[in-house]
Amino acid sequence: MGVISLSPYDLAVAASLLLAVAALSYLLRLGNSGQIVVAGVRMTSQLLLLGIVLKSLFAHTNFLWVTLMALVMLAAAAREVTSRQKRRFKGVWGFGIGAVSMFISSFTVTLIALAVIIQNRPWYLPQYAIPLLGMLLGNTMNGIALGLERLTANAWQQKPVIEARLILGQSWNQAIGDVRKECIRSGMIPIVNSMAAAGLVSLPGMMTGQILAGSPPFEAVKYQILIIFLIAAGTGFGTMSAVYSASRRLFDERQRLRLDRLKGQ
């Protein structure tokens, strides 16, 4: 059985459900009805544009174009991490910490998956490279955003405690150690929950898509296990890297807590 094609009418029916949620939100005065509509419009336009770009990439495999696409995705993910922080670092640090952490974790895990596990030829084949990197960046982005948000919020709330530890002779690393551990755990909660619930509570997106496209269920399961393992590794490495880098940035060379380096105080 082939893939059942969806018509514009089918998508309009699905969109009407989202509009109903936005209308109900407006009636209840939740204050996010506009955000729901804008997010839906933005998602639709972005995915349609992505479909056009991927169609061209799939037809003409080129390493430079795949690399450019990957860097655009990385920049967009880093921007999303920054925009979701109530208290974010001033200057390029807010963008840079997220971007570097995702580059180190997501790109490394993607390269290992393509070159060692999947072993497609060429290894940068966009049909595999772009979707895989997108899933890793998306989930790593969420982990980093949660970890950094918790770190800056806790550092602000626990400023007297951290400074008291510094006065008592602890290093910056010791003074913020407990806070940092809690932030890393917070950043990894979504992926840990996803792994625990996969197959029992939910059917993950990639597996569902493959089954709907006609792939054998067991083959779809194997790919989904691979993807979740890769996402968990990328999220873990990325969150740890971002939280460690950010926690160091909260202190100067004299090991003083510098919350003036944050915006939105």
- Domains of the chain, by residue range, sit at 1-60, 61-261
Using alpha carbons, select from 149, 129, 247, 244 the residue that is nearest to residue 190: 149
Residue 3: its pLDDT value, please? 63
Q: What is the pTM of this model?
A: 0.80
- Residue 59 identity (one-letter amino acid): A
Q: What is the pLDDT of residue 264?
A: 61
pLDDT value at residue 244: 93
Spatial CA neighbour of 228 closest among 239, 240, 220 = 220
Each residue of 88-141: pLDDT tens digit?
888 788 788 889 999 988 889 999 999 888 888 888 888 888 888 988 998 899
Round to whole Å and give the CA distance between 85 and 59.
39
261, 97 Cβ separation under 8 angstroms: no
Residue 1 has what pLDDT?
Answer: 53
Confidence of residue 243 (pLDDT cuts 50, 70, 90): very high
Rg, the chain, Cα only:
21
Task: Please determine, for residue 200, whether its predicted confidence score (pLDDT) is greater than 80.
Answer: no
The pLDDT assigned to 89 comes to 83
Q: Is the pLDDT of residue 2 over 60?
A: no
Percent of the chain with pLDDT over 90: 31
Helix, strand, coil shares of the chain, percent, nearest 5, are 75, 0, 20
Least confident of 159-168, 196-205, 224-233: 196-205
Contact of 146 with 236, CB cutoff 8 Å: no
pLDDT band at 203 (very low <50, low <70, confident <90, very high): low
Lowest mean pLDDT among 25-39, 159-173, 199-213: 199-213
Please give the pLDDT value at position 217: 78
Q: Which amino acid is at 175?
A: A
At 40, is the pLDDT very low, low, confident or very high (cuts 50, 70, 90)?
very high
255: pLDDT strictly greater than 90: no
Q: What is the pLDDT of residue 41?
A: 94
- Residue 211's H or E segment, with its range, is helix 205-212
CB-CB contact of 107 with 46 (8 Å) = no
pLDDT at position 247 is 92
- Write down the pLDDT at residue 44: 93
What are 64's two structure tokens? Answer: 């430079």
Mean pLDDT of the region 175-186: 91
